[in-house]
Chain A
């Protein structure tokens, strides 16, 4: 297959949108004498300052609904800066901010008093990856401390609705608060995980309602009426954050996790957000009998922050058995239920991403930053991986035992992180910055990273897709077909060299005629923005590929949005090979590819 797209490597590329993409770009903060250097980021579109998009708002309010349902009293407020950058905060009912989320210069920033530094990323998956990579502030989460991280996934690939992912992240940050005290559900408590995951899917994907948009006063009043819990976040954080809590306000959170909470915890585990040690009952975190807690006879207290004074101690304890079993046994079922819930919520004019969660299981993992355990299949091994540690040993053995006790059927395998480090990361597969993005390289990515799950015919040609195209909505199918069927053939292209053909459902831009042997310059007529856009889509989490004879389409994970926000564009060169992109119209606009 001839290489068609010979993109300039990022290091040498001259693009309009190069903020923080060059290795020499450094953000320096002189507070506390710290210098923080950001690693180069993939190309990002410069999106004009604007309020949260409908899709972003849907995700944010989906998070709020999930937190509400999980029993986390919270108030959501949002605003715009004087430059028009959007932000929102999740507050406790006492007004303390425990999550600040904003989008500045196309980057999301999420901060919490419980984080040692803000999380930044181009999407929510990036935030989760960064969080999983050790953003927690407490000593117990530093690299020097032993701690087992667990991820569940099926076939190594997990995908969930952005709201669910973000909710799981915020939930995880929330329950990591030092002073929190959890009243875990008893073993005899019957948790209907099917219903829980269905509810999570519905809550996450439901469209924004007027109720969602009620002002803070109304929400606050509602919460006050129903509030029976007190929550707080750690207050001894000296970092310069918005959410530092005053010392006088320390209160332990008494909490009875409901099914939504357990479901979110399961998802958080599945994404590697939560550490299993959070759920480990250690001698330093003595259990308290239920009767010792006034008014909580039905709860089992697994930990008490007042008595946990070791830095290693967890004030947050949970019924690990419930969560772990739910995560293991319910993962596949959960995804089905989530999909069912999402489809219900999306019924009507909205179209989903047209990827069922079943097929989404074939998608790449959100993050390969951490080792993974795969315990979703019956015969899957349980792989326990450890953070870099100085003292692996008995403690870990104990933790392994606790896991084994929970899941006796699953064979257990301990894998050192050093061994796992030899596994090819996704970035390695994607290639370094120096790797050229060509038609062939994209095909290689498809073959290496995806299990082709379906073949189909368009215009007498057979295509392979990394997802089940039969699940597509009619609108999405039409749009995709336009990229596969309407483009000119090689012969067509030669007749139309140098011209431009606009298609009804998308744009096809023919590249200028150049010699086939001159791969290094054949894309000179091709706009840098188009090249950057293809790279942008390629690197997006959840993007998919469709390939056929001489044609390859990159489909962005654009979530459940209305059809009119999709756009498709095809680029063709004089060899007749085409690379198409289907994504959000706003992203095309951001790369100056429209109008």
Chain B
């Protein structure tokens, strides 16, 4: 039963986060921000975290979603919804697939 609790295989999760990383990079570049500039906007303690995320490793802390959306010039609800589609694809499908259908 516990094994079934796994949300996704590591490979799947990695693919999803890599795709998310690419999306985040596109958003940043669309705002003409360097990684360091974005990190400064977010008051991150080390800007290499941006590169790490854009390379598909790690995830944005939940409590910073709003700030990230703002820093990247995105609507908060849309931004979080997209994040959810990558981080929690199963949950996302249940919640939103019917809406989009």
Contacts and interface: CB of A to CB of B under 8 A. Distances in A.
Chains A and B form a bound pair: yes
How many residues of B sit at the interface, in one of the four size bands? 20 to 34
Interface stretch (A84-92, A203-211, A258-266): A84-92
Contact of A83 (B13, B17, B34, B52): B34
A30 B67 CA distance: 13
A111 B45 contact: yes
B11 interface: yes
A452 B58 CA distance: 49
Contacts of A91: 57
Contacts of B36: 81-83
A363 interface: no
A81 B47 contact: yes
A95 B43 CA distance: 25
Contact of A95 (B13, B34, B47): B13
A94 interface: yes
Interface string B4-31: 0111001101100100000000000000
B46 A95 contact: no
Interface string A23-41: 0000001110000000000
A179 B26 CA distance: 36
Contacts of B51: 79-82, 85, 87
Contacts of A93: 10
A51 interface: no
A29 B55 contact: no
Contacts of A117: 45
B14 A118 contact: no
A521 B2 CA distance: 74
Given A79-B52, A82-B34, A95-B10, A242 B45 contact: no
A240 B68 CA distance: 12
A95 B57 contact: yes
Interface in B45-85: 45-53, 55, 57-59, 61-64
Contacts of A243: 58
Contacts of B87: 246
B48 A100 contact: yes
B33 to A, nearest CB: 10
Given A87-B51, A216-B14, A240 B35 contact: no
Nearest to A237: B61
Nearest to A30: B43
B45 A94 contact: no
A244 B61 CA distance: 6
A34 to B, nearest CB: 9
Contacts of A87: 48, 51-52
B50 to A, nearest CB: 7
Nearest to A91: B57
A244 B63 CA distance: 10
Interface in A11-49: 29-31
Listed residue (B2, B34, B49, B51) with the most chain A CB atoms within 10 angstroms of its CB: B49
Nearest to B63: A238
A387 interface: no
8 contacts: A79-B52, A82-B36, A111-B45, A220-B11, A240-B44, A240-B45, A242-B57, A244-B62
Interface of A: 29-31, 77, 79-83, 85, 87, 89, 91, 93-97, 100, 102, 104, 109, 111, 117-118, 216-217, 220, 224, 238-244, 246, 248, 251
Given A89-B58, A117-B45, 7 more contacts: A82-B51, A83-B36, A109-B46, A111-B45, A111-B46, A240-B43, A242-B58
The 7 closest A-B pairs by CB, nearest first: A242-B58, A87-B48, A102-B48, A81-B51, A31-B43, A97-B58, A244-B61
